[in-house]
Structure 1
Amino acid sequence: MSGRAHLAPEIVPILELTTDERIEACNLDRWIGYTRAQQIMQQLDQLLLYPRTLRMPNVLIVGQSGNGKSSILERFCHRHPVQVTSTGTPIAPVLHISMPETPDETELWSLILWSLGISHGERAPASIKKREAKSAMTYAGIRVLAIDEFNNLTYAGRRAADLLALIKGLSNDLKISIVAAGTQAAINALNSEPQMKSRFEPAALDRWRLDTDYLRFLASYERFLPLAQPSNLASRELAPVIYGMAGETIGGTVKLLKAAAVKAIQLGREHIDTGVLKSTDFVRKDGWDDVMRRI
């Protein structure tokens, strides 16, 4: 077992599985509680302890595409699942939805109802859906409405202001907090309604740098890759290569590490080194420019 000290205990048995099963394990999503993610998680947890007041606190998780916003939001929701009391009453602290690509009021109310598992007439007037949604949210004891892809509000055009007013009214009427996640465009959407913007506390996910936090993340992630030998991803040799290939987002790094682990298994190497990294079929986000020049 000492030869497996580089792995988390639950990963060790995976080494005995078939190649296909190990590859599948490589591609699973893993939660790594890096420093900034933990700070934001604590900030979100505090919302559930906040008393119901006239002006509830809201949080906007904002960062580049692929930098972990949705993962933090999903983790927060997973930590506070729906529970059922002894009398059969549901308690749902957090309701999670995603802003539609072309949002409007009636679709947003439908999303809330479907997320609560409530069938309804999708062609019903927005006023009826609103009444049903607010009643259901009250019954379920919702404390936080989590909205992913908040930046899609910029595609709503003139309806964006109405949707922001809808969200503000929902927070005011039900005394719930709003947690939104989106790219920089989410800030632009809020800029159109300064009063609504003032209700949000920004929680920024900065671009990653090749620093101690990044090295710590690499070391933590390595523990979940089912490879029999240590790779020392945080070493002076490999960390700069990984960072140079993956770019400044956590999503790019995770995508590269998954691909490299799969390639290592396929090659029978059982660890990731520079050769394995260079042999992966990986294109970083800004690598599309190079692809365009080659075709």
Structure 2
Amino acid sequence: MRSMDHLEPETAAMLELPTDERVMLCKTDRWVGYTRATQIMNRLDQLLVYPKSLRMPSVLIVGRSGNGKSSIVERFCSRYPVQMTATGNAISPVLQISMPETPSESEFWSEILWAMGISHGDKDSILLKKKQAKSILIQVGIRVLVIDEFNNLTTAGKGAGDLLAAIKGISNVLKISIIAAGTQAAINALNLEPQMKSRFDPAALDRWKLNVEYLRFLTSYQRLLPLAEPSDLASRELAPIIYSMAGETIGSTVNLLKAAASHALLSGKERIDRDVLKDVVWTAQDEWDDIARRV
């Protein structure tokens, strides 16, 4: 009987499924709690139990595009869903929104209202939206406001100061913590308001290197791919190839492994090997400059 020690038990059970279903499972997002992600997650959890104080702590998750910021945010928020009390009232400790692409204070309050399912008019005054937003946040017991794509704040122009003031105000008045996530530009956004910046504790997602942590990630992710044979992704043969193709971000590595596992199954293989990586349709990050020169 073939050993399935290279797979998680729930993944091994998927091997009984048809090939097309296993291909879809290969493309499904999976959570791998690598060291840095776990460290940041623990810091975020602490915000929920922090006592209400004059100056609530906040965290800025910052890193390159595709390096896991949104995955951490989604994982954190999914652990604290809306719950109903015995009297039918909704309790929600965490609210997630995204900074609008063209941010303004009015749009900010609208994002909160829409996220809470509150219908309102786009042309309603800022004061009205602000009053509604604060009221519903108090009502449902929000303790942490999560703002993804925080780097969009740099496109707010002269309105950035007002928007940062609104975020600071909501933290001060409601005694809630802020989790912001964005690219390096998010740091520039906070530089616009030094007092606001001082409230944030940075949580950096460094660029990945071909080191022990990267090899551990490959080993962990392999256990989630429904392939009947071990791929040995962390081997001296395959790890450098994967790293050279995917570059320094975890998102690119995951996308490559999804594509490689799917290609392996569709070509009749049950493992990712050198030939699969060679044949998979893939554009490495450093190839984009070459493409730009050719077109």
TM-score (norm 1): 0.98
Give 2:19's aligned residue: 19
Q: Verify: 1:121 aligned to 2:121, yes or no.
A: yes
TM superposition shift of 1:103: 0.5
* Secondary structure of 1:11 counterpart: helix
Give the Cα–Cα distance (whole angstroms) in 1 for the partners of residues 263 and 95 of structure 2: 38
Deviation digits for residues 131-164 of structure 1 (CA, Å, limit 9, x no counterpart): 0000000000000000000000001111111100
Q: Verify: 1:204 aligned to 2:204, yes or no.
A: yes
TM superposition shift of 1:67: 0.3
Q: Verify: 1:54 aligned to 2:27, yes or no.
A: no
Give the Cα–Cα distance (whole angstroms) in 2 for the partners of residues 293 and 230 of structure 1: 39
Report the residue type matching 1:253 in the other structure: T
Give 1:110's aligned residue: 110
For this pair of structures, how many residues does the alignment match?
A: 295
Deviation digits for residues 224-250 of structure 1 (CA, Å, limit 9, x no counterpart): 111110000011111111011100000
* Secondary structure of 2:10 counterpart: coil
User: Which range moves more in the overlay, 275-284 or 160-169?
Assistant: 275-284
Instruction: Report runs of 4+ in structure 1 exceeding 6 Å deviation.
Output: none
TM superposition shift of 1:10: 1.1
Give 1:242's aligned residue: 242
Unaligned ranges ≥5, structure 1: none
Give 1:152's aligned residue: 152
Give 1:33's aligned residue: 33
Give 1:195's aligned residue: 195
Give 1:42's aligned residue: 42
Q: Verify: 1:3 aligned to 2:3, yes or no.
A: yes
Give the Cα–Cα distance (whole angstroms) in 2 for the partners of residues 226 and 119 of structure 1: 43
Give the Cα–Cα distance (whole angstroms) in 1 for the partners of residues 276 and 290 of structure 2: 21
Deviation digits for residues 9-47 of structure 1 (CA, Å, limit 9, x no counterpart): 111232222222111101100000000000000000000
Q: Verify: 1:229 aligned to 2:229, yes or no.
A: yes
TM superposition shift of 1:290: 2.0
Report the residue type matching 1:37 in the other structure: A
Give 1:258's aligned residue: 258
Identity %: 67
Give 1:80's aligned residue: 80
Give 2:177's aligned residue: 177
TM superposition shift of 1:2: 5.4
TM-score (norm 2): 0.98
Once superposed, what is the RMSD of the aligned Cα atoms?
1.0
